[in-house]
Chains A and B, each alone.
Chain A
Amino acid sequence: MSLLKVENLTLQFKTDEGLITAVDNVSFEVNAGEVLGLVGESGSGKSVTAKSLMKLNPENAVYSPESSIELNLDDQKIDVLSLTSGQDLKPVRGGSVSMIFQEPMASFAPAISIGEQMVEQLMLHKKISKSEASGISIEMLDRVGISDASKRFKQYAFELSGGMRQRAMIAMALSTRPSLLIADEPTTALDVTIQAQVIDLMKDLIAEFGMGIIFITHDLGVIAQTADRVAVMYLGKIVEQGSVRDVIKNPAHPYTRGLLNALPKLDDLDTPLTPIPGDIPSPLERPAGCVFHTRCPVSEERCKQSVPEYEQRSGSHKAACFVTATEGNLP
């Protein structure tokens, strides 16, 4: 049984301009010890999807009745969307499910020491004393490669460098020993050399703790280096999903192909960069038919009218495209 099972997740926001669809019929699973990469550009709905796993979306979010998010822990099964009270939500908000955010500076309170924040959240989720919580926190800081952990424990976020803050954030998220970790663009704000260190650290921690990870990023290079499976999102839909090898080496959706062609590659400096034409449509003007048809280089008449089925291509590789289904993948 998979650790996390998301089925037919549809999420709309009530706004003055009407209902906006942010996530459209998305299904995926994450197993323990597995890294699922969630890739997409801004506005693709990847963060909203991740937040709904913790029910962190604002009050105007409306989940469709078919949506289901199921978390299978060792001792219990949690139907996340049915949770309402703060007490019930505790396990999915920091207990068994933890989240690492993109901006480590904005995620720590500036006037409270790193240690105090770590201890506070640990004591919320575990029945332990303050000194035990401090011990665990310092041990975790040490584990994520922060030297002089007991000194750092007493410091404030502004006293740490960007890479150090992100390590502290990871230490904090992992101190409750979650079964599922959601990492939302954890390396985007970091320099490449620090990014490489953080990616290494996360790989070590997966091997050690065996949790499932949802790794959200717009960087396909980072995905290639970390994920086991990838789901590519565009305008709230998963358009392609499969093993990282299948998706990156043999993409079945024109959008994934477009993303790869737009990416500057170091081993091929002569091929000109090919942008995906046009801009991402506003969520208020979702295209009919296939959501990608307005920017797709191979779109046909049927793409404008009907929505392509999200179907199996080979093994666990799935994609939603009329054209590649009949004519094969794009070069």
Chain B
Amino acid sequence: MSDQGLIEADKLSVHFPIGGGLLRRPKMLRAVDEVSLSIPKGSFFGLVGESGSGKTTLGRAMLRATPITSGGVRYSDGEVEYDLVNLPKSELIEYRKRAQLIFQDPYAALSPRMTVRDIIAEPLEVMKITNSRDETDARVREIAEKCRLNLEHLRRFPHAFSGGQRQRISIARALVSSPRFVVADESVAALDVSIQADILNLLKALQQELELTYLFISHDLSVVAHICDHVAVMYLGRLVETAPTRELFTAPRHPYTKALLSAIPSLDPDQRGNAQKLEGEIPSPTNPPSGCKFHTRCPHAIDICKQTEPALDHLGSEHDVACHRWQELAHIP
């Protein structure tokens, strides 16, 4: 990919020890395993995969919200540059102002005992961005307007709001510190369809207005197809394919991406049952398969897939795929 990535991960791994004791070595859960990824500045970068694929952990690692086991992550927005693996505490505080997270569930993410104004103002106070209450209020009002919140609502408590309004409050809170990079983790998954479209449009509008770069984590491919310009697909902690959205959706190369796309239920009742079915379930990450991690469910797996892990192949300037057989399988939908 181009060299102007806002965030670049290089063989990033996040492993969690589980079990183990005084004399037993703990098993390692490889939540993210040697992922290299570059998120271009100003992009709406989608990250998809089933539950257990490591997409949330990767997002958190990029925010330095989880310990990084090995590999590197670099943030560079033209003004500052951070090596996120060896970030001193003083710089971590600065990085937090530039990188923020929008949560999934707007019902759980907002404290019921704080007014909307206090919820949005809290990051400013904690990070000591503003110097006076007036300044804080001005910042809160400004971002609330941008997120299309009614200013009268700032005095109320979250329980008075619907899911869509609450998600707008969460977004305002994440954006109040003027971040450059925002991780949106399943930010529309808990919303109704009619509201979901509204929040997606808001995120897109804010991206242009505030020059944001998003990492948009989602399990819903049709949402990602509509809003993202780049997509990366993860499976069991590995990156299996990454490409510009249109290319990924029109010419997917990895068998897993193809299966994911065909599993989306079609809105056309006349096109029933022609989905390409994927057998079985995602294996446990504590005991991942050898070779290509997808071989246990892949309809095209051959011997080499069981033995050797495929490397990321570069198909084009921005399209990477990790599959031994992608060239032979290119014509198979």
Interface of B is mostly: helix
> A284 contacts the other chain (Cβ, under 8 Å)?
no
A213 to nearest B CB, angstroms? 15
User: Using Cβ atoms and an 8 Å threshold, which residues of chain A touch B50?
Assistant: 191-194
Q: A272 — which chain B residues lie within 8 A by C-beta?
A: 201
Q: A191-B282, A195-B265, A266-B222 are in contact. List 20 more A-B contacts (CB 8 A).
A: A41-B194, A42-B192, A192-B221, A193-B260, A195-B263, A196-B265, A203-B273, A224-B269, A224-B272, A225-B265, A248-B268, A262-B194, A264-B220, A264-B225, A265-B267, A269-B249, A273-B226, A275-B194, A275-B195, A279-B165
Is A197 within 8 A of B264, CB to CB?
A: no
Q: Are B267 and A263 in contact (CB under 8 A)?
A: yes
Are B219's CB and A224's CB within 8 A?
A: no
**Are B221 and A275 in touch, CB under 8 angstroms?**
no
Interface centre among B226, B264, B267 (most CB of A within 10 A): B267
Partner of B267, one of A164, A224, A274, A276: A224
Give A237 Cβ to nearest chain B Cβ, in Å. Answer: 16
- B264 contacts A192, C-beta separation under 8 Å: yes
Q: How far is the CB of B260 from chain A (nearest CB, A)?
A: 6
B193: interface (CB < 8 Å): yes
| Contact across chains for A244 and B267 when beta carbons are under 8 A apart | no
Task: Give A191 to B50 CA distance when docked, in angstroms.
Answer: 6
B:163-201 near A, CB below 8 Å: 163-165, 192-198, 200-201
Find out whether the CB atom of B277 lies under 8 angstroms from the CB atom of A224. Answer: no
B251 within 8 A of A: no
What are the residues of chain A within 8 A of B51 when measuring CB–CB? 162, 191
B312 interface hit (Cβ, 8 Å): no
A221 touching B259 by the CB < 8 A rule? no
One digit per residue, 1 when the CB lies within 8 angstroms of any chain A CB and 0 when it does not, for chain B 214-233 equals 00000111110111000000
- Looking at chain A's contact residues, is the secondary structure mostly helix, strand, loop, or mixed? helix
- Is A219 part of the contact surface with B, judged by Cβ < 8 Å? yes
Pick the most buried of B222, B245, B270, B273: most chain A CB atoms within 10 A of its CB: B222
A203 to B278, CA, bound (A): 17
B70 touches A (CB below 8 Å): no
CB of A245 within 8 A of CB of B270, answer yes
| Least distance between B233 CB and chain A CB atoms (Å) | 12
Whether A248 pairs with B277 at a CB distance below 8 angstroms is: no
A249 and B51 CA atoms in complex are apart in Å by 32
Cβ of A300 < 8 Å from any Cβ of B?
Answer: no
Binding site for A on B (CB under 8 A): 50-51, 162-165, 192-198, 200-201, 219-223, 225-227, 245-246, 249, 259-261, 263-270, 272-273, 275, 277-278, 281-282
Closest 5 CB pairs of A and B: A221-B265, A275-B198, A276-B194, A275-B197, A273-B197
Are A279 and B164 in touch, CB under 8 angstroms? Answer: yes
- What's the Cα separation between A279 and B195 when bound, in Å? 7
Inter-chain contact A273/B264, CB cutoff 8 Å: no
Give Cα distance in the complex from A272 to B259, angstroms: 26
Given the complex, which residues of B lie within 8 Å of A221, measured CB to CB?
264-267
Structural contact, A41 and B193, CB atoms closer than 8 A? yes
Identify 27 residue pairs between A and B in the complex whose beta-carbon atoms are under 8 Å apart, listed by A's number. Answer: A42-B163, A192-B50, A193-B260, A193-B263, A196-B265, A200-B273, A221-B266, A224-B268, A224-B272, A225-B265, A245-B269, A249-B269, A258-B194, A260-B267, A263-B197, A263-B222, A269-B225, A269-B226, A269-B246, A273-B197, A273-B201, A273-B226, A275-B196, A275-B198, A276-B195, A279-B164, A280-B194
What is the chain B residue whose CB lies nearest that of A197?
B277
Contact of B223 among A196, A245, A264, A276 (CB under 8 A): A264
Is the CB–CB distance between A225 and B272 below 8 Å?
A: yes
Chain A residues, CB < 8 A from B193: 41, 218, 220, 259, 262-263
Residues of chain B within 8 A of A162, CB atoms compared: 51
Answer yes or no: A163 CB below 8 A from chain B CBs: yes
- Which residues on the B side are within 8 Å of A274 (C-beta)? 197
Report the bound CA distance from A263 to B196 in whole Å: 9
A6 at the interface (CB under 8 A from B): no
Pairwise interchain contact A196-B263, C-beta atoms closer than 8 A: yes
- Expressed in whole angstroms, the minimum distance between the Cβ of A190 and any Cβ of chain B is 9
Write out the residue numbers on chain B whose beta carbons fall within 8 Å of the beta carbon of A260: 267
A273 CB to closest chain B CB (Å) equals 4
List chain B residues, Cβ under 8 A from A258. Answer: 194
CB closest chain-B residue, reference A282: B162
Residue pair B278, A193 in contact (C-beta under 8 Å) = yes
- How far apart are B184's CB and chain A's nearest CB, in angstroms? 15
Identify which of residues 236-269 in chain A touch chain B, using a CB-to-CB cut-off of 8 Å.
244-245, 248-249, 258-260, 262-266, 269
Contact of B226 among A193, A264, A279, A295 (CB under 8 A): A264
Complexed CA–CA distance, A92 and B261 (Å) = 39
Contact A164 B269 (CB under 8 A): no
* Known A-B contacts A244-B269, A245-B270, A262-B196; A200 and B277 likewise in contact (beta carbons under 8 Å): yes
Whether the pair A275, B201 counts as a contact (CB closer than 8 A) is yes
Report the minimum CB–CB distance from B245 to chain A (whole Å): 8
Chain A residue with Cβ nearest B192: A41
Chain B residues, CB < 8 A from A248: 267-269
A222 within 8 A of B: yes
